[in-house]
């Protein structure tokens, strides 16, 4: 018997985001409707193997004990060969899953047997042609920016002969005498627009220390921003469930002749290598944020020649297995905030038992919404406050306690700023919606779907993700933290872009000097991923910034100073500012 879950989503509250111009990794399309949304879990997830929860069709959130029936493993067929899951031992006692993914690749990827399938960046199609900048020409002239287009193959693996266009811009060193090794910036998302981010705040980019004596290269990755084609779909912003949105988006892009299977990290990495060839850079540095760190790691693995140093802010390593562990890792960050409050005498006395207060409030508000705000809306707000960093984390105990007392004044005060971060670029600066004269809004949903489905969800199974979530996440926040993952599994069953080669899901081993920075409370690219990243980087340095969240070089003084110092000298880095960074000081009543 088909059961339904009825949710009412306020039109002014975007529950789900991805990284960069979006915000959380697997939740890129806000559900916006003033009408109740009837979510048929059986129909929405049948193809990916998710059995309906033990709820009733008549009562929302009626059962406090969430106990889904076991998932039929046959419904996960197709992902089993690629599934990396969580750490486990096979019948021979060998470690599989996350730990097994730390296997290294030596001698041309022989460990993965993937040498013949590595996409090659040859530069043959990499013609770079200068042209007008796609943003305000006064800004371009003021900062002496050079813009142009790089032509690259759409699908190197199939060698179809079709080319696509990548928008490129170069901000010259402010001192007019640049070092020979520029910095190439890799945007997050996947789907964000680096160039739109620059257009929104050029002064912010130009003020970085490394930009004083090094050229900065920004480009819109394939399928994003001002690059052609842009895998953007207006259908993704319309009402409807995940399946409807995915079907509409896929139909419009394929009708336009887009090869959805060509938009992934392997092809993206080859684009970076071709960009360096086209611009005639013998040596260069990489700066990646969020998904941009995943791309940087791929370039380090596949095209290490010429890379002098790498800065990874908010790391997303290929062996992280986020599709199955996203909700678990996010909940750990909630617990970190609760623990930080408990360890602070002022916070603990003002807001005692904060975790239980939060869970009880979510449960109560899901049962009886306050001013059309549900408990899952509170989960989304707090999660986004952690993501947004130190400017908001200190208010978390207060917003929870106020909501517990029926007061949503602070919730509504924070809502526009917090959820406005969904239109911020990965440098954390407000990205304006640039729609006039063909300008982009910096959000390429189709690119996000192609990358995540091909690179991540192809290696995961929904029943495994569901079981991990049930075992680690309280029932009260199950839907608030896991609902978007269910949606992405549904999307990927429709998107149908295949999977990356097995080696692309393994840890990257490289001796390139690398600075890895992560925020203590980042729920999207958590500290665990920072540790996972540096395990196979012998010249890697990990810095966990106290009291902060995602995209550290947007505003964290210590992160910015370390980045600038590292690009100046990647061998002798002083990380002393990390220990001098204040812990979070919570706002008290």
Of 81-85, 276-280, 318-322, minimum mean pLDDT range: 81-85
Residue 544 has pLDDT above 70, yes or no: yes
By 3-state DSSP, what share of the chain in percent is helix, strand and coil, each rounded to 5? 45, 15, 45
- Angle made by CA atoms 485, 157, 289, in degrees to the nearest 5: 45
- Residue 121 — very low, low, confident or very high, per pLDDT cuts 50/70/90? low
Residue 480: CA count within 13 A, CB half-sphere: 27
Q: How far is CA 9 from CA 14, 31, 256, 376, 577, in A?
A: 8, 7, 33, 10, 43
**Which residues does 231 contact at the CB level (< 8 Å), separation at least 6?**
191, 223, 224, 253, 258, 260, 263, 444, 445, 446, 447, 449, 450
> What is the Cα–Cα distance from 434 to 211, expressed in whole angstroms?
25
Q: Phi/psi of residue 105, each to 5°?
A: -115, 115
Residue 260 has pLDDT above 50, yes or no: yes
Q: What is the mean pLDDT of the chain?
A: 80
Of 195-209, 227-241, 521-535, minimum mean pLDDT range: 227-241
Average pLDDT over residues 129-149: 96
Tokens of 444: 């390429």
Residue 474 has pLDDT above 80, yes or no: yes
Residue 5 has a pLDDT of 29
Whether 452 and 316 have beta carbons less than 8 Å apart is answered as no
State the DSSP code for 434.
-
**Which residues does 389 contact at the CB level (< 8 Å), separation at least 6?**
428, 519, 548, 549, 550, 551, 552, 554, 555, 556
Peptide bond into 261 cis (omega under 30): no
> What is the Cα–Cα distance from 402 to 377, expressed in whole angstroms?
14
- Residue 127 — very low, low, confident or very high, per pLDDT cuts 50/70/90? confident
Of 20-24, 344-348, 440-444, 527-531, minimum mean pLDDT range: 20-24
Residue 61 has pLDDT above 80, yes or no: no
Residue 326 has a pLDDT of 95
pTM beyond 0.85, yes or no: no
Residue 582 has a pLDDT of 84
Render 296-325 in DSSP notation, one character per residue.
HHHHHHH--TTEEEEEEES---TTS-HHHH
Residue 442 has a pLDDT of 57
User: What are 490-539's pLDDT values in tens digits?
Assistant: 999 999 999 999 999 999 999 999 999 999 999 999 999 999 999 999 99
User: What are 396-408's pLDDT values in tens digits?
Assistant: 999 999 999 999 9
- Residue 272 — very low, low, confident or very high, per pLDDT cuts 50/70/90? very high
Report the share of the chain in percent with pLDDT over 90.
70
User: What are 518-531's pLDDT values in tens digits?
Assistant: 999 999 999 999 99
Residue 443 has a pLDDT of 79
User: What are 359-390's pLDDT values in tens digits?
Assistant: 999 999 999 999 999 999 999 999 999 999 99
Of 112-126, 197-211, 237-251, 565-579, minimum mean pLDDT range: 112-126
Residue 589 has a pLDDT of 85
Name the class of domain 1-337+442-566: alpha beta
Peptide bond into 53 cis (omega under 30): no
Residue 45 has pLDDT above 80, yes or no: no
Report the share of the chain in percent with pLDDT over 70.
74
> What is the Cα–Cα distance from 479 to 61, expressed in whole angstroms?
10
């Amino acid at each position: 018997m088909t059961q339904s879950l009825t949710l009412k989503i306020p039109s002014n509250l975007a529950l789900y985001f991805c990284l960069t111009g979006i915000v959380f990794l697997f939740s890129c399309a806000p559900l916006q409707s003033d009408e109740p949304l009837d979510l048929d879990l059986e129909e929405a997830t049948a193809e990916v193997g998710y059995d309906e929860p033990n709820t009733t069709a008549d009562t929302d959130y009626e059962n406090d004990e969430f106990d889904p029936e076991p998932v039929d493993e046959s419904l996960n067929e197709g992902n089993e060969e690629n599934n990396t899951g969580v750490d486990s031992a096979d019948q021979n006692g060998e470690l599989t899953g996350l730990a097994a993914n730390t296997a290294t690749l030596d001698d041309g990827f022989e460990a993965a047997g993937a040498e013949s399938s590595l996409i090659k960046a040859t530069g043959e199609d990499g013609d770079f042609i200068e042209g007008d900048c796609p943003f305000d020409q006064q800004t371009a002239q003021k900062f002496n920016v050079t813009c142009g287009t790089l032509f690259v193959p759409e699908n190197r693996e199939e060698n179809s002969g079709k080319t696509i266009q990548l928008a490129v811009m170069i901000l010259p060193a402010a001192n007019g005498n640049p070092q020979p090794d520029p910095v190439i910036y890799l945007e997050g998302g996947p789907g964000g627009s680096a160039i739109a981010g620059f257009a929104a705040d050029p002064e912010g980019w130009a003020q970085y220390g490394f930009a004083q004596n090094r050229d900065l290269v920004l480009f819109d990755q394939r399928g994003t921003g001002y690059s052609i084609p842009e895998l953007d779909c207006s259908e993704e912003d319309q009402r409807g469930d995940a399946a409807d949105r995915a079907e509409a988006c896929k139909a419009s892009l394929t009708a336009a002749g887009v090869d959805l299977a060509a938009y992934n990290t392997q092809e993206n990495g080859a684009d970076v290598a071709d960009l360096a060839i086209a611009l005639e850079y013998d040596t260069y540095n990489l700066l990646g944020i969020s998904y941009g760190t995943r791309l940087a790691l791929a370039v380090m693995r596949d095209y290490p020649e010429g890379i002098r140093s790498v800065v990874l802010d908010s790391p997303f390593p290929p062996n992280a297995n986020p599709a199955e562990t996203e909700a678990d890792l996010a909940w750990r960050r909630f617990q970190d905030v609760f623990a930080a409050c408990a360890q602070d005498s002022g916070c603990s006395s003002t807001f005692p038992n904060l975790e239980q207060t939060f869970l009880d409030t979510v449960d109560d508000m899901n049962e009886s919404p306050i001013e059309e705000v549900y408990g899952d809306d509170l989960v989304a707000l707090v999660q986004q406050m952690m993501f947004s960093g130190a400017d908001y984390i200190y208010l978390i105990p207060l917003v929870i306690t106020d909501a517990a007392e029926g007061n949503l004044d602070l919730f509504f005060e924070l809502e526009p700023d917090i959820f406005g971060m969904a239109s911020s670029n990965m440098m954390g600066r407000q990205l304006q919606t640039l729609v006039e004269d063909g300008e982009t809004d910096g959000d390429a949903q189709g690119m996000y779907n192609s990358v995540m489905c091909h690179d991540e969800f192809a290696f995961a199974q929904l029943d495994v993700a569901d079981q991990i979530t049930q075992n680690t996440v309280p029932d009260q926040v199950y839907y608030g933290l896991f609902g978007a993952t269910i949606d992405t599994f549904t999307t990927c069953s429709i998107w149908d872009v295949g999977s990356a080669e097995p080696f692309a899901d393994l840890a990257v081993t490289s001796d390139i000097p690398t600075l890895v920075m992560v925020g203590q409370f980042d729920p999207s690219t958590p500290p665990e991923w920072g540790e996972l990243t540096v395990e196979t980087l012998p010249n890697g340095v990990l810095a966990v910034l106290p009291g902060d969240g995602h995209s550290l070089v947007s505003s964290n003084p210590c992160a910015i100073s370390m980045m600038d110092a590292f690009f100046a000298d990647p061998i002798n880095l002083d990380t002393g500012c990390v220990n001098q960074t204040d812990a979070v000081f919570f706002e008290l009543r």
